[in-house]
Amino acid sequence: MNRRTKLVCTIGPATIDRVDELVAAGMDLARINFSHGTPESHAVSGERVRAAADAGGRTVAVLADLAGPKIRMGDLIGGSVELQAGHSFTLRPATGRVGNAAGADVGHPGLAGDLEPGDRILLSDGAAELRVIDSSDEIRTEVVRGGEVRSRAGVNVPSERLSGPALTERDRLDIPRAVELGLDYLAQSFVRNASDVVELRSLIGEDGPNIVAKIETRPAIDDFDAICDAADAVMIARGDLGVELPYEEVPILQKQLVRRALDRGVPTIVATQMLESMINSPRPTRAEASDVANAIFDGADAIMLSGETAIGRYPILAAEAAVRICRLCEADGGDHLPPGAPPQTDSDAGALAYAAAVVASSNPDVAAIACYTRTGQTARVLAALRPSVPILAFSPDTAVIRRLALVHGVEPRRCVRPSDTTERLGLMAWLVGEDPALSPGSAVVLVASTATPGTGPNLLEMHRIPD
């Protein structure tokens, strides 16, 4: 059986021609960052992921990451400049001029009106810190902490200051393209509250991609539970979160948010700088290995690699390193793995899922739990309980199968659609009997339904793999 923690890899210049290697290394979900590239390159990335997954016989989902209201500087002379503490630096509305150590263009034309004297601005994920002196047509700042900043660097200001919409005009152009490409997940950047997610849902429709709400602002933390209810998954995006909040708060917030999402049965992705040094090094640091391990011990469904696989020198080694850490933590770190979500026994489906998890944990012969699911919900309910064995999720719907590639401990499998409800149990028994990963004599807990489609599971059976 496979590892239970899933791996998200960002496709970029370093991997667009090596997608098959990422799939072989263990990528479960491919991220296409719509902040970079062109519509044509995004389409090519999606096509190559689909082709590589089919060729490798693996299920790999595709996630489009919307740019969102990310503020960026314009181009800088020589590609980067070094800012010196105590010097002045001016951010100006787009003029088309190349910036230098004295100032640069900024992509948000109304930013000056959003800021007040004394506000803090961070450039390039905190590489330099500015303090606003005056903001009229231009934003005059003092460099509080110097550092090197690059062309197109991010400009982080307190999110509560921003007056712009959650979905930019660029996002509104990108959303229908992502839907047209048939992508499985859509990540929404800089979510501030649940209504932002609801707005995106209204644009893609109920049959559109699942929504991953990126948690990277203080307002999103304040409205986290409601965001979990509105979204299909959440991403703890530690990069922008760590520049909006004191960085020492981020590890505690990560643990708290992952736990709160797990308790609500919502999958989580922990992202940013997981193996950052592997952009230039063939081995991760010990601290990075511990960081990945802690995300697993926190209960995250998935960890994500960004620059490591998008622009790094060792993208395949980075993916392989993440997989190795996951496997070892799951195999030898059982005492540190968190308990699952509280059982939702107020419904028949929740009670049945809890019973399946209890049976699996109490019987050493049980090698897996298997379920038939039309929408993926049964598999997600089971996964939130964090059973001690893998979950084999069978569905005739390709879209459902791909979306389950993100969910902890779930091994999605395509199956034919049974002709009627009475055949589901027999179909699952046959499918698990044909699975080479299940040894003869082992047992599988089957979760199925003989009721009307859409009513949830109502049947539990212990099935023994024949010799």
Per-domain residue ranges of the chain: 6-68+166-333, 77-161, 348-464
10 noted as active-site residue: no
* Distance set, CA 154 to CA 7, 127, 267, 420, 432 (Å): 26, 10, 28, 54, 49
How far is CA 26 from each of CA 30, 147, 317, 361, rounded to the nearest angstrom? 11, 37, 11, 27
In the block, which residue shows the tokens 């002379």? Answer: 77
Task: Tell me the C-alpha to C-alpha distance, in Å, between residue 328 and each of 3, 25, 274, 334, 389.
Answer: 9, 16, 16, 10, 16
Which tops the pLDDT comparison, 153 or 409?
409
Residue-level length of the chain: 467
What does the pLDDT read at residue 244? Answer: 81
Q: Is 70 a catalytic residue?
A: no
Lowest pLDDT segment from 7-11, 37-41, 109-113, 306-310: 109-113
Q: Which letter does DSSP use for residue 300 in this model?
A: -
Q: How confident is the model at residue 208 (pLDDT cuts 50, 70, 90)?
A: very high
pLDDT at 379 over 90: yes
Catalytic annotation on 214?
yes
pLDDT at 182: 95
Q: Quick check: 23 pLDDT over 90?
A: yes
Q: Which CATH architecture has domain 77-161?
A: Beta Barrel (2.40)
**What does the pLDDT read at residue 428?**
80
Q: Sorting pLDDT into bands at 50, 70 and 90, what band is 32? A: very high
Catalytic residue among 3, 18, 92, 214: 214
Q: In the structure, what pLDDT confidence band is assigned to residue 58 with cuts at 50, 70 and 90?
A: very high
Confidence of residue 183 (pLDDT cuts 50, 70, 90): very high
Stretch 361-375: mean pLDDT, rounded?
Answer: 93
**Are the C-beta atoms of residues 353 and 378 closer than 8 Å to each other?**
yes
Query: E strand or H helix at 55, and its extent?
Result: helix 39-56
Residue 108's pLDDT is 83
> Which residues face 304 on adjacent strands?
8
Catalytic residue among 18, 48, 72, 255: 72
- Taking only the tens place, the pLDDT of each residue in 76-121 is 999 999 999 999 999 998 888 999 999 999 988 888 888 999 999 9
**Residue 103 exposure: Cα atoms within 13 Å on the Cβ side:** 14
**The two three-digit tokens of residue 242, written as one number:** 């760590």
CATH topology of domain 348-464: Pyruvate Kinase; Chain: A, domain 1 (3.40.1380)
Q: What pLDDT is recorded for position 71?
A: 87
On whether the CB atoms of residues 131 and 119 are closer than 8 A, the answer is: yes
pLDDT of res. 343: 87
3-state SS, residue 463: strand
- 58-92 burial, b if ≥16 CB within 10 A, otherwise e? ebbbbbbbbbbbbbbbbebeeeebebeeeeebbbb
Q: What is the CATH number of domain 6-68+166-333?
A: 3.20.20.60
The stretch 272-287 carries a mean pLDDT of 96
Q: What are phi and psi of 91, to 5 degrees?
A: -100, 125
| Better-predicted residue by pLDDT, 179 or 69 | 179
pLDDT of residue 457: 83
Tokens standing for residue 230: 């509105």
pLDDT, mean over the chain: 92
Query: What is the tens place of the pLDDT at every residue in 397-453?
Result: 999 999 999 999 999 999 888 776 667 778 888 888 888 889 999 999 999 877 666
Among 5, 272, 309, 373, the one annotated catalytic: 272
What is 123-183 written as a DSSP string? Answer: ETTTTEEEEEEEESSSEEEEEEE-EEEETT-BEE--GGG--S-SS-HHHHHHHHHHHHTT-
Tell me: pLDDT of 50 over 70.
yes
Q: For residue 272, indicate whether it is catalytic.
A: yes
Lowest mean pLDDT among 143-147, 193-197, 446-450: 446-450
Find the farthest-apart pair of alpha carbons in the chain and give their distance in angstroms, rounded. 79
For the chain, what is the radius of gyration of the CA atoms? 23
Confidence of residue 12 (pLDDT cuts 50, 70, 90): very high
Cβ-based burial of 259 (10 A; exposed 0-12, middle 13-18, buried ≥19):
middle
CB crowding 260-278: b at 16 or more within 10 Å, else e: ebbbbbbbbbbbbbbbbbb
Q: What sign results for the dihedral spanned by CA atoms 457, 461, 462, 466?
A: negative
Chain centroid to Cα 334, Å, comes to: 24
Question: Position of tokens 């314009």?
Answer: 74
Say which of 31, 92, 192, 380 is annotated catalytic: 31
| Strands 88-93 and 103-106, bridge-based pairing | parallel
Q: Which of 6-15, 143-152, 452-461 shows the lowest per-residue confidence on average (mean pLDDT)?
A: 452-461
Report the candidate in 104, 97, 107 with the shortest Cα–Cα distance to residue 81.
Answer: 104
pLDDT surpassing 80 at residue 466: yes
- Write down the pLDDT at residue 454: 64
Of the candidates 248, 193, 192, 198, the one whose C-alpha atom is nearest the C-alpha of residue 217 is 192
What is the b/e burial string over 27-55, where b = at least 16 CB atoms within 10 angstroms of the residue's CB?
bbbbbbbbebbeeeebebbbebbbebbee
Percent of the chain with pLDDT over 90: 73
